[in-house]
Each structure stands twice: as structure tokens, then as C-alpha cells.
Amino acid sequence: MKNYFFLLSVNHGATYIFNTSHWSAIKESLKFYRAYTLKGKLQKSILTYFLFVIGKFFPFICKSKDAIKIYLKENINQDVDFNLDENSSVLISPTRDKVIVNHHTQYFHKFAFGKSFIKVQNESAIYKLLQNSKEFQVASVMDLKIDEQLSACHFKLLNPPVNTGHKLLEIDNLPEILVEFFNSTPHKKTVTLVDYIEDLLKRFHSLNMEPINSLTSYLVKIQKEYDTETMPLGLVHRDFKPWNILLRDSVLIFDFEEAIIAGPPLEDILNYYIDPIIRYQSAIQVYNMLYYKEKVTEYTSYLKLLNVTMTFEVLLVTYVLERIIYWTKEDELDTVMHYKNLLNHILLNTKPSEKIYFCSSFK
């Protein structure tokens, strides 16, 4: 049996099992590796040629399909048939409770156990919910199997075909896409801003975190200013970032493990811009980016489509606080620190009584 599976463990704990049998198999294997920065693209290019050399001249350091099956069984601690074949590659999550098998050019097969079970079960439900989307695309879920007793599930994902053969170069209708996504929730809900903020503060204080200067006073002023203001709750991806989309005929969105059906407006569009850079840029740089004219125009369009009349700063503050709560629960304290720095900078530079110019069009 030929040896052409190459294992690579990376710093954050994930393991890639690349297929080095031929050039196209390597390219397919690297679909797990999403590179956006110049450095990332250079590293991906180097890795591509490295794998080609390994497969061509040093196959003895690779593993066979049977050896990979044994490796998976030992490392995942589950007696599962991952349906590996000669045209597949594998990604194992850092927590070892999630496995994605890429059956090249056919489908992705996702397995989840233990702690990842609930998230992946949630994801399968979101995929089914979004099958009739117009502004964007989602994959089709096939062969879904859920064993709640064993806390295990798996399903296949089949991406929709590309009709034109041309990829989008960029997203030019992000507000429309995310508003349709937001409105896809099965049950329409609204909440008063006062109640939403009270719940947010309650969740924040329950974590016994250090107080954030001026936060409580700022939110109290917001509650008074928007005493009777209501806002819709809808479907929120909560991990909407460039590496969870593909540009095709229309935008293909995937990875709905964190999605909730009753989340606040604007969260996904803010996450799209903030989360990828929050760990690498200063709070001032992130803050300035958020106020680029084209960004403010997108927030305006998004809120107008939802008939939300409050200023985007209110939702920016609540979004950042939501991220602080989320990353604290995930024990990602370095990320929490970056979001706290951003929140402090926002609070220093934004006064509740100031109305942003674009909101006058709603009056």
C-alpha cells in the first residue's frame, strides 16, 4: 500500500493530514489552509512545494491509509470509520473532538464528539434553515446522523456548483447579505434596548471580571436616552470572517457552529472587520478602521434595511462587550485584553448624547 499521507501539527494544536499523491491532491488538501495576509500566502506557497517534494522524492516519511486510520482511532479515541480513501485529506481540531475529511472535489465529511457535539449539531440545523437563500449560498447537508446518547454526530457537506465559472472578486453587497442572513431566523423577536443591556451587564458581572472604566455609566446613559427603543433579534453567525466564506457566483457562507437565532443586529458585520485584526493591531488602529467612510456607509445601510434607528456606536459597544464575554468563557485571555483595550478607546471617544450624522435620515 502506498504511503502519501503527511501529518503536520501546528502551533494552535490542530493536525493536518495532507495527501501528497499528486499536485492536484496537494492543492485540494490545502483547502483547509486559508491564507489572507502576504505572509500567510507565502507560507502556503512554500508548504505546497514542500509537500510536492515530499510526495515525489521522500514518500517513505509519509503514512499509508491504514496507518492514518490507526492514528485517527488512537488520537480521537473513537471507534469511527472516517471513510478515508486515496482521494482524501483530513483536519483534526486542536481539542481532538472534531474531524473534517475532505473527499476531494466531492464533499466534506464533518464528525464531532463530546464538547464539539452541540456546536456541530447546531451547525447542521442552520444549514438546513438556509437552503433557500438569495443573496448568498450555503452547502447542502447530506447523511446527517445524530446520536445524542453518545454525544456524537456527523454529516456530509456538498457545496453548490459554480454556474458561471467566474469568482466574485470582492463582496459588494455585505449589508444585504447579512440582513438576509439575520432575517432567516424562524421566529421573529424584538427586545427593548434597556432589557438587552441589563442582560448583557448581568452576564458580564457573572464572570467576576475587573470593572471596565466608564462602561456602566455609559450604558446607563444609553438606557435613559433610548428608554423605549426596541431592536430586532435575528440569526447571527458569530464567527463571520473572511475564512468562513468563499467568493463564487455569490458568497458561499459556512461554519455555523457559533450561530444563534436570537442575536443583536450589526454583530456579524462588525465581527467581519474587527475579529481578524484585533490581536495584531492597536486599539487606535482598529478604532480608526471602523470609522472609514465606506464602513460607516455599510453600517448605515444595514441598520436602515432593518429599520433600526439607534446609532451604530451603541451596537458597537454592546458587540465588543459580547466579544469580551465570549472570549472570557473560551479562556482566551489575550484576546479579551485586546477587546478591552478597544472598548476603553471607544468609551473615551464616544459620548452617548452625540448622534452620528447618518442617523438623521431615519427621523
The pLDDT assigned to 359 comes to: 35
Assess whether pLDDT exceeds 90 at residue 111: yes
| Each residue's pLDDT tens digit, 88-107 | 999 999 999 999 999 999 99
- For the record, the C-alpha cell of 350 comes out as 464616544
Q: Domain 174-362 classified CATH 3.90.1200? A: yes
Nearest to 260 by CA among 290, 240, 234: 234
pTM for the whole thing?
Answer: 0.88
pLDDT at 355: 39
The pLDDT tens digits for 54-91 are: 999 999 999 999 999 999 999 998 888 899 999 999 99
**Cα–Cα distance list, 229 to 143, 170, 223, 333 (Å):** 44, 35, 9, 33
Cα–Cα separations (whole angstroms), residue 261 to 69, 213, 231, 238, 321: 37, 31, 14, 10, 19
Arithmetic mean of pLDDT, 112-123: 94
pLDDT per residue as tens digits for the range 263-309: 999 999 999 999 999 999 999 999 999 999 999 999 999 999 999 99
Cell of 48: 505546497
3-158 and 174-362, same CATH topology? no
pLDDT band of 351, cuts 50, 70, 90: low
Dihedral (C-alpha) 146, 148, 149, 151: value to the nearest 10 degrees? 90
Cell of residue 293, nine digits: 467612510
How do residues 2-48 score in pLDDT, each as one tens digit? Answer: 899 999 998 778 999 999 999 999 999 999 888 777 888 899 999 99
Distances (CA, A) of 34 to 222, 242, 245: 40, 9, 10
Q: What is the pLDDT of residue 302?
A: 97
pLDDT band at 356 (very low <50, low <70, confident <90, very high): very low
In whole angstroms, what is the distance from residue 149 CA to residue 25 CA?
Answer: 37
CB atoms within 10 A of CB 183: 13
Q: Are 168 and 247 in contact (CB under 8 A)?
A: yes
Q: What is the CATH number of domain 3-158?
A: 3.30.200.20
Greater model confidence, 241 or 356 = 241
274 three-state secondary structure: helix
Cα(first)–Cα(last) distance of the chain, in Å? 72
Mean pLDDT of 329-333: 92
Confidence of residue 354 (pLDDT cuts 50, 70, 90): very low
**Percentage helix, strand, coil, to 5, in the chain?**
45, 20, 35
The whole-angstrom separation of Cα 315 and Cα 270 is 9
CB-side neighbour CA atoms (13 Å) of 42: 3
Q: Which of 348, 209, 337, 212 is closest to 279 using CA atoms? A: 337
Q: What is the pLDDT of residues 182-220, one digit of tens each?
A: 999 988 899 999 999 999 999 999 998 888 878 888 888
pLDDT digits (tens, 9 = 90+) for 234-254: 999 999 999 899 998 889 999
Q: Would you list the domain boundaries of the chain? A: 3-158, 174-362
Q: Tell me what pLDDT residue 279 has.
A: 93
Q: Is the pLDDT of residue 363 over 70?
A: no
